[in-house]
Amino acid sequence: MGKFNKKKDGGIPAVNTAALPDIVFMLLFFFMVATVMRQNTLMIENNLPFADQVEKLDKKDLVMYIYAGKPSSNYKQFGTEAKIQLNDKFADVKDIAAFIAAERASKREELIPFLTTALKVDSEANMGLIGDIKQELRKVNALKINYTTKKGSVFGRN
């Protein structure tokens, strides 16, 4: 019977980690594909509201982003009132016209009618600011807008 008790030399065998790189690579590729590098550094709080009747924005390159919200904790010196952010800096309502013009100039002419303005506004902001933004957008004839929201039910979110 000596044939069968060869493996008696004891100890737990080491776990085989040869497949570890494969697993890590798999995760790595997932995150590489899913990553979208942020275009703008946000200087405001941007906790989007929830809605469930949402439509997807299809053409990413035809979207102009306007952010609004109260300055985040690093920018306390700008006060606690909700502010607009265009590109990388705080802006005033009257800067929107110039921003839209610049965005339009950077696109091909035939694409201009398809440009959409996405409003990424913090859920705590008040409608006065949004009303001003909308009025300004109407003035420059940028009429397609999208209120960017997170997907979820609107109820029970207080």
**Residue 53 touching another protein (CB under 8 A):** yes
Q: Report the residue number, 9 or 61, with the smaller CB distance to another protein.
A: 61
d(CA 119, CA 145) in angstroms, rounded, equals 7
119 close to 146: Cβ distance less than 8 angstroms: yes
Site for another protein in 118-137 (CB under 8 A): 118, 121-128, 130-131, 134-135, 137
Q: What's at 74, amino acid-wise?
A: N
102 close to 86: Cβ distance less than 8 angstroms: no
Among 43, 67, 84, 149, binds another protein (CB under 8 A): 149
d(CA 110, CA 107) in angstroms, rounded, equals 8
Q: Which residues in this chain contact another protein in the complex, by CB under 8 A?
A: 17, 20-21, 24-25, 27-28, 31-32, 34-38, 48-58, 60, 63, 116, 118, 121-128, 130-131, 134-135, 137-139, 141-151, 154-155, 157
